[in-house]
Amino acid sequence: MVELLAPAGSPEAVTAAVQSGANAVYLSFEDLTGCRRTENIPNSEFESVVRYCRIRGCRAYLALNIPVREDELNKAAGLALRAQRCGVDAIIVRDLGLFRILRSLLPEMPLFADAHLGFYTPESAAIAQRLGFRRVFLPPDLPLEDIRRMAQCPIETAVWVQTPLCAAACGTCRMSAFAGRESAERGLCSELCREQYTLGGRWDTTPLSWKDRCMLPACRDLIDAGVTCLAIGSRERRSEYVSAFTDVWATAIRESQLPAEPELERLERVFLPWGAAKKDLYETAEAPEKIPGETEAVYAEQRRNYTSGEARRVGVSFAVAAKDAHSSVILGAQDTDKTIAAIEGPVPDDAGDVELTEDGLREAMYRTAGTPFRCTEVRVQSPAGEKLRVSGIELDEARRRLLYKLSEERAKLPDRKEGDFPETPRIAPAPHLPAINFSFQTAAQMTPELAALCPECVYVPLELLAENPSVADAFRENGAEIVAALPSVAFGEKEESELRALLAKVHESGVTQALTGNLGLAMMAGQEGFRIRGDFDLAVMNSYTLSGMASAGFLSAMLSPELTFADIREMPKCMDAELAIYGRLPVMVTQTCLLKASAGRCTCTTPGQMADTRGGVWPVTKHFGCRNTVWAARKLWLGDVTQEWIDLGLWAVRLCFSTESARECLEVAESYIQGTHYKPNGITRGLYYRGVL
């Protein structure tokens, strides 16, 4: 049967989820979580919370779903080890380096791939399975037809069926970090997408704020498709929210019955505006009009539902055996999971008020209210021809002891091995001076004057190289390696087919390397004969991720721009590592075309601008698949602190050109390479000195 997974951001939310019908919950310790705005489970209560779940037949998953810095690896691994010893059933992982560590440290623990790893295609799911992941959480922006394709993969699949929908494609948002240090990647999204912006000179209200996704109408379709798990998102939601929607989804799964329309409307008014179809999701999330007193009434009702007793009860078959009138009765119990417990009960007593027959014991043994168990059967074995009786008070006490022992048996931890922390990756020698790489967005930026500066690698959009194979000839003649920059996102058979055709065309023109931040697209490019370099969206923050990428055949890796210089300097580098040191960095790849939504027609071939209420201007350009790239409002500038990035032990640094003119590109490059005094306007040091929260 399909699993229903509910959020548990607090001990109360665990109770709400379990009592409302969840098959599993995902939770975290107080720190190192992918949702640090929530209360989370206090470290001192974690073991008891997991025990509560195990007794009631609900699986518990630990969420360690953030990129982990080098100095956090030991702590993260320690939390995972402690979680295994507490009895969690699986760990959800975002960081590929931490994944490598846990595979060695906890060899028998199931590991799940977080949605932010961006597994959009069956090819990428094959990578996840080959790496050793047991389950893949699919990105929440994946449409139903692609979910069906993914569900046919041999790996387990989890779908976010009730969750806030971000404007950014999964794993591509750095907007919060570059605007105010609150990293969405690390669970502290400041939700800048919920604010007002102008597009095309007029206020578009909140063009990045979309409705929550609610796939209730597609519940049966998802089950029939073979999805392993239906997941409810948002650990920051109140326990009443968890209770309400866990109950709704549990009923829909169990009875194939959706709530009546008035009930759905009431839940939407109280909790959130949602959409079921794609056209509804991408509308602005405007809350429905409230009815006075309704919210308080719904909250109170839901609270009663999960605090008024044990609604989650495991079926138990009781057996009572009496040898003779002088020996203790033996009471046994077996639950639906085949867990067995047995104890010695009272000695038969002629003055007893309960006869040892099925009819006589039925009332006493079915009296399990207030426990996480319910009696489904009573079987009795007693000497033939003898009518034995026992004391009802003593029988009640024996039943309580039996159920306690059964609880202890159910709470027993699985016997899982513990391995060793893997060795620190070896350090590869770095050049005395890092190479200079350029990335471009337009053909007009790629002038012969820039080519004469002899960059090591030149990253050019795949579509641009396919349209104009000679666009990079001047750079190639000056010894530069031409690298095809793949899009951040591509899914669906149509987009995959288009991308393969572009890759094949570019490869025929002599380009043999590709740049990508998506593991699925890396595999696709590899199949077309390209060697791969890693980009921003892989969120590389530690040496074990570098080691894993090196083992997978990556030529180089872009380090996360959310690291500090101190982090980078202390990170052992076992492969060629690159760092962005100039430009507007990409802070978001949108799921839809913002410019089309604003203008009413697709104008994304012409760059636009998105202005916020604080005076920031975020350039918006075309991205593959009628999407947009949103660029940082300020340009990263480190041209006057050259020694800082020279001393980091890097293979290369990158100058990222986005909306600059050809002249500005040349002036910037000459400043970095030749030491001229040019300095652009609207600059920032990025996060290299201050880091993220």
541-569 pLDDT, tens digit each: 999 999 999 999 999 999 999 999 999 99
Greatest CA separation for the chain: 108
Structure tokens at 388: 């034995």
Q: Which residues contact 307 (CB under 8 A, 6 or more apart)?
A: 15
Residue 606 has pLDDT above 80, yes or no: no
CA distance 389 to 369: 24
Predicted pLDDT of residue 155: 96
Per the CB < 8 A criterion, the answer to whether 561 and 580 are in contact is yes
Pick 286 or 333 by higher pLDDT: 333
Predicted pLDDT of residue 237: 81
Can you tell me the mean pLDDT for 148-170? 91
CA 631 from chain centre, in angstroms, equals 23
Tally of CB atoms within 10 A around 490: 25
Predicted pLDDT of residue 452: 98
Per the CB < 8 A criterion, the answer to whether 281 and 341 are in contact is no
Cα distances (Å, whole numbers) of residue 358 to 345, 361, 392, 639: 16, 5, 14, 86
2-27 pLDDT, tens digit each: 999 999 989 999 999 999 999 999 99
Q: What percent of the chain has pLDDT over 90?
A: 71
pTM of the model: 0.93
Amino acid identity for residue 482 in this structure: I
Residue 211 has pLDDT above 80, yes or no: no
Residue 188 has pLDDT above 70, yes or no: yes
Can you tell me the mean pLDDT for 214-229? 94
Residue 279 has pLDDT above 70, yes or no: no
Per the CB < 8 A criterion, the answer to whether 444 and 468 are in contact is no
CA distance 437 to 434: 9
Mean of all residue pLDDT scores within the chain: 91
Of 165, 545, 174, the closest CA to residue 559 belongs to 545
Cα distances (Å, whole numbers) of residue 513 to 189, 445, 458, 485, 539: 34, 21, 10, 9, 20
Amino acid identity for residue 20 in this structure: S
Residue 33 has pLDDT above 70, yes or no: no
Can you tell me the mean pLDDT for 187-215? 79
575, 175, 38, 5 alpha-carbon torsion, rounded to 10°: -70
Handedness of CA 234, 235, 238, 241 (dihedral sign): positive
Q: Which residues contact 124 (CB under 8 A, 6 or more apart)?
A: 118, 518, 519, 520, 521, 523
3-class DSSP state of 173:
coil
298-330 pLDDT, tens digit each: 899 999 999 998 999 999 999 999 999 999 999
97-137 pLDDT, tens digit each: 999 999 999 999 999 999 999 898 888 898 899 999 999 99
Predicted pLDDT of residue 478: 97
Predicted pLDDT of residue 206: 79
Predicted pLDDT of residue 164: 81
406-435 pLDDT, tens digit each: 999 999 999 999 999 998 888 888 788 999
Q: Which residues contact 540 (CB under 8 A, 6 or more apart)?
A: 67, 97, 534, 546, 549, 557, 558, 559, 560, 577
661-690 pLDDT, tens digit each: 999 999 999 999 999 999 999 999 999 999
CA 627 from chain centre, in angstroms, equals 22
Handedness of CA 501, 505, 507, 513 (dihedral sign): negative
Give the total residue count for the chain. 693
Pick 91 or 66 by higher pLDDT: 91
